[in-house]
Amino acid sequence: MAVPRAAFVALADSATGRLRLEAVNDAFVSLTGWLRERAAGAAFPPPQAPPDLADRLAAAVRQGRAVKFELEWPGGADGAMRIEFDLMPAGDGTWLGFVEDVTAERRAFQLLAASEARYRGAAESGSDWVWETDAEHRLSWLSPHYFALEPARASRLFGKRRWETSPDPPDANCWRLHRADLDARRPFRDFQFRSVDGDDGGPRYVRVSGKPVFAAGGKFVGYRGVGRDVTEEVAARRLAQLSEARLDAAIESINEGFALFDADDRLVRANRKLLELAQENAGLFTPGAAYADILRAVAARGVLHDAPVEIEKFLAERLAVHRNLPSETEYRTAGGLWLKITETRTADGGVAMVYRNVTHLKRAEETLRKAAEEAEAANQAKSEFLANMSHELRTPLNAIIGFAEIIGNEMLGPIGNARYAAYAKDIRASGAHLLEVINQVLDMSKIEAGRFDLNEEELDVAEVLAGSARLLENMAAEGGIALSVDVPDPPPGLVADRRALRQVVLNLLGNAIKFTPRGGCVELSARAEPNGGLAIAVRDTGIGIAQADIATALAPFGQIDNPMTRGKPGTGLGLPIVKALVEMHGGSLSLQSEPGKGTTVAARFPARRITGAQSAKATA
C-alpha cells in the first residue's frame, strides 16, 4: 500500500501574491509537526524561512509558475531535517503543494561530494593520475593536473584506445594479453607500456591499473583506474641492467674463481672459472644456496685433501674465519689442486670470495724447498768434510813449511849451493800462503758447520789491538803505509774469544794495508758507543769500494773485479769470516766506503760484553 505524500492547499492573494494555508493532510501534520488547527490560515512560507523567500515566492505566484525550494526544519532524529516544498498552481488562486523529507538524500549527497573532493584532491596532488575510458576503451577523462604536466600529450590521448597511443605493434604479446583482460571485463594491475612521446619529444613509459565500471542495470560502461609515468624508473632499471651486465662481463673475464654471497650468506652468483675449479662439485654453487650448506657438502664429499673427521667442528672453525673478514685461507683438494681463498666484506654486508689456483706456486715452492734442503745438505756435508780434514791438511803442510825453513836457514849445515837455500825460502813462503788460505777455508767451513766454538774470556782490548798491529808493522812499512792505533785510556774490557778477536783485527788490518797505496794511512781504533757497546774500527785511505760491490765483498769467496784489485792475493773469505765471528759474539759488522777515498770497517760488540776498564787482565 502506497504511503500518501504530505500535501497542503494554499490560497493566493491576487494583489500581493502572498499565500495562506487552506488545508493540510495527516502526512503533512506528521512530517512538519504543525497542528491542523494552527496550519489553517497560517501564512506561507513559515517564519523560519529566509527573509527573501516570501518575496521570491510571491513573484512566482503572481507569474503563475511552479516553484520548488528547501528549508531547514526542526525535528527528525538529529533535531533538524531538510524539507523540500514543491508548489504548483491549481487554478482560481488555489495552489497545491507537496512536502518531502530529503534529509537523508542531502546528507548522502554531501558525503559523496566530500568524498569526491578528497578523491580529486588526492589524485591531483600525487604523481599518479586518474583516468576513465568508455565502453569502447577510448580515453574519456584524465585528472586535470595531468594537463598541467604535459598538455599537448594529454590532448593527443583523448578519444584513443591505449594500444593506439603506443609505438609498439598492437599484436605484440603484451597487448594481446592486456586486450584479453579488457574483453573479459577483468580488473588489471600494473600493466606497463610505452605511450605517446612526451612534449619534449622523449619516450614515455606508463604503468596503469584499472577496474571495469558497470551501470545500475549491469551494463558495462568502461574502465576507471590510475596511472603513473615510470619513464625515469624504466631508464634507471635499464641503466642498472647495463651496469650489471658490465659487472657480469668483468667477473666472467677474470682468470680466477669468484663467488658473491648476500648479507644472509646465500650465493648470489658464481662465475664459470669457479665452476671449472669446483669440477664435479659445481652443482653445489647454485644461486640461493647457503654458504654453510655448500661448505658442509664439500667437507662431507671429501673434496679437501685432508678431509675433516669431525665435519661440524671443521664447519664451526671455517665459519668463524668466514665471519672475521678479511681473510685468506689455503686448501688442497683431493684432486691435487691448491686453492687460495680470499674473502672480503661488501658494503651491503655480503661477502666477495676469490678462488685462486696456486697449484703451480705450491709446486714451485716445493721444488725450491727440496733444492734448498739438498743444497743445505750438500753444503753441510762439504763443511763437515773440510772441518774433519783440518788436521789432515794442516799437519803435512806444517811439516813442509818447517822442513823448508830448516833447509833455507841451513840449520843442519851448509847445503852448498845458495840457490837451494833461496828455493827453500820460496817453498816456505808458498807453504805459509797456502796454510793461510787453508786456514781461512777451514775456519769458514767450521763456522758454517756450527763447529767453531768460542773460548770466551775477559780481554784487554788495548793489548789485543796493539799485539795485532805489531804483527803487521813490517807489512805496512814495506808498503810505505803509516799504521796507527788509537785506544782510550784506560782501555775497556771485552768478553770474547781471544783468537777470534785477533783474527777479526788481523783480517781487517791486512785488507786495509793490502788495498792502500804507498803513502796512505791505516788507523786501528776502539771507541765506546752511546748504547754502551764497543766499536773496533779500521779506517784506511785506500782505493775504496763502490756501493754496488759491498754486498759482493761481504759474501763468501766474493772477489771484486776491477783494475785496482786485480792481482791482489786472497780467497775472498776475509770479510765474511770477520762478519761471522763478530755475529757469533752477538755483534754486527758495518762497512762504509767510497772509491778513491778509502774504507771504514767497524766491528760492533753489544754492551753486555763490555766490562770495566780496570778489570780486564791480559794473559800471554
- Give pLDDT tens digits for 46-92: 877 888 888 888 998 898 899 998 888 887 667 788 889 999 998 88
Measured between alpha carbons, how far is 197 from 199 in angstroms, rounded to an integer?
7
Q: Answer yes or no: is pLDDT of 237 > 80.
A: yes
Q: Answer yes or no: is pLDDT of 571 > 70.
A: no
The reported pLDDT for the residue numbered 81 is: 86
CATH superfamily of the domain spanning 453-611: Histidine kinase-like ATPase, C-terminal domain (3.30.565.10)
The reported pLDDT for the residue numbered 188 is: 95
Residue 390 binned pLDDT confidence (cut-offs 50, 70, 90): low
Residue 557 binned pLDDT confidence (cut-offs 50, 70, 90): low
Average pLDDT over residues 564-593: 75
* Number of neighbours of residue 408 by Cβ within 10 angstroms: 19
CB 42 within 8 A of CB 11: no
Measured between alpha carbons, how far is 554 from 574 in angstroms, rounded to an integer?
9
Measured between alpha carbons, how far is 133 from 210 in angstroms, rounded to an integer?
10
Say how many CA atoms lie within 13 Å of 349 toward its Cβ.
4
- Dihedral sign, Cα of residue 530, residue 533, residue 535, residue 536: positive
Return the CATH number of 126-235, one of 3.40.50.10490, 3.30.450.20, 3.50.50.60, 2.60.40.10: 3.30.450.20
Q: Which of 261, 335, 283 is nearest to 305 (CA)?
A: 335
CA angle, corner 167, sides to 164 and 172, nearest 5? 80
* Out of 12-16, 125-129, 232-236, least confident range: 125-129
Tens-place pLDDT, residues 453-509: 788 899 999 898 988 888 888 889 988 999 999 988 888 889 998 888 888 888 889
Residue 552 binned pLDDT confidence (cut-offs 50, 70, 90): confident
Measured between alpha carbons, how far is 319 from 308 in angstroms, rounded to an integer?
14
Measured between alpha carbons, how far is 221 from 141 in angstroms, rounded to an integer?
13
The reported pLDDT for the residue numbered 388 is: 63
The fraction of the chain above a pLDDT of 90, given in percent, is 18
Cis before 46 (ω within 30): no
**What's the CA dihedral at 373, 377, 380, 382 to 10 degrees?**
-130
- Does the domain at 256-357 match CATH 3.30.450.20? Answer given as yes
SS3 339: strand
* Out of 21-30, 357-366, 435-444, least confident range: 435-444
SS3 263: coil
SS3 361: helix
* Residue 139 dihedral angles phi and psi, to the nearest 5°: -65, 125
The reply to whether 6-107 and 453-611 are identical in fold is no
Q: What residue spans of 126-217 are helical by DSSP H? A: 144-149, 151-157, 173-183
Domain residue extents for the chain: 6-107, 126-235, 256-357, 379-447, 453-611
The reported pLDDT for the residue numbered 567 is: 45
DSSP string, 480-497: T-EEEEE--SSPPEEEEE
Mean pLDDT of the chain: 82
Return the CATH number of 6-107, one of 3.40.50.10470, 3.60.21.10, 3.30.450.20, 3.40.50.720: 3.30.450.20
Residue 183 binned pLDDT confidence (cut-offs 50, 70, 90): very high
- Tell me the helix, strand and coil percentages in the chain, rounded to 5: 45, 25, 30
Average pLDDT over residues 244-255: 84
Residue 415 binned pLDDT confidence (cut-offs 50, 70, 90): confident
The reported pLDDT for the residue numbered 615 is: 38
The reported pLDDT for the residue numbered 117 is: 66
Residue 284 binned pLDDT confidence (cut-offs 50, 70, 90): confident
Average pLDDT over residues 531-554: 85
- Higher-pLDDT residue of 394 and 259 is 259
Q: Answer yes or no: is pLDDT of 620 > 50.
A: no
The reported pLDDT for the residue numbered 211 is: 95
The reported pLDDT for the residue numbered 566 is: 42
